[in-house]
Amino acid sequence: MQQKWYQKSWGIILLLLSLLILFTSCSQQNNTKIKINKTQEVSKKKAATVESKKSTPDDEAEKTTSESVVSPSVPATSKPTITSVNGDFDYSKYTLIVVDGGDMSGYRKPNVRVDVGFGDREYWAFTNEYGQLIRVEAKNITLQNPNTDHVLSSGRYYSDEAKVPGTESQEFDEGHVIADSLGGVSNAYNITPQDSILNRHGDQAYMEKVIRDAGGCTDFVAVIQYPNTHTQIPNHYKFTYKIQGRSITDEFDNVNPDEVNKNLGETTGTSSTPPKTDNVPANETVSSNEDVSKVDTNHNGSVTIAEAKAAGFKMPITRDSWLYKYMDDRDGDGLVGE
């Protein structure tokens, strides 16, 4: 009886072991299938991705690449390039430096550009490789304003001018290229040794008065020439500017105009006093070519040298010219604009 019970027990145990082994085997097979399926799915996804990339059009790929590239940054603020008045002069060849307007030193650095306008004015001066002042220009000449500018009782911005070599001679003034009255400073970059008569009573003085009377001018350019590379004393000036849209040119040598006129009179054998002509009576109609209104552009009853030049008249205007009576002959020699 007991022996039969043991035999049944062993039989049950063997059956359970068999079932356990069978179950374990099935589980391993299922796990293997799952892993295989997952591996196949991953492989399919990779293959699909590769195929998708291969099938992407070239232009789309380029677009994607270009969109990913960051364009170089542009400066938020860029200083505007300053151009010359007539567009014929290259500012980039000259080093920009700052010089105090009242600097009395007569020394100039070579190949530089300096602002010689008082206050907010922009008047640009240039030197060549020898330190000679060769050019001064301004897009707008703004007259001195005692109400807004700091002006001395003398009418000047500074008590003295730069001592440029040559100004020590009694023959020469420290001549402003752009006068105080026109807003120019007094350092060496706006000063040249200029014949004192020319500076005070000659073409230089006339030109400054013309611009003052007009209330300023535009497109101002002064070109200064020298006889050699060693001197700081110019031998010739050429000024061009516009008043009320009219272009004016003043050109003269750095000499005493009185001496020139005297020599001209002696050379030609003409009298220093041209013959006087009668004025046109008030009730007489002037001819069409003697219409002063065509010359007197500001209609103030008088004609300036600038207005006469702009109208096509050649200087000097002599006493026998119909225009003479409308002009200011300061020295009474019968010549205006000599």
DSSP state of 155: S
Domains of the chain with bracketed CATH = 91-255 (3.40.570.10), 256-338 (no CATH)
pTM of the model: 0.60
Residue burial 151-178, b: 16+ Cβ < 10 Å; e: rest:
beeeebbbeebbbbebbeeeebbbbbbb
Quote the pLDDT of residue 329.
84
Paired tokens of 266: 């002696």
- For residue 80, is the peptide bond before it cis, meaning its omega torsion is within 30 degrees of 0? no
Distant-in-sequence, close-in-space partners of 269: CB < 8 Å, separation ≥ 6? none
Per-10-residue mean pLDDT for the chain, 338 residues long?
58 72 61 51 48 45 41 44 85 97 97 98 98 98 96 94 96 97 98 96 93 96 98 98 94 92 62 41 46 78 81 81 86 78
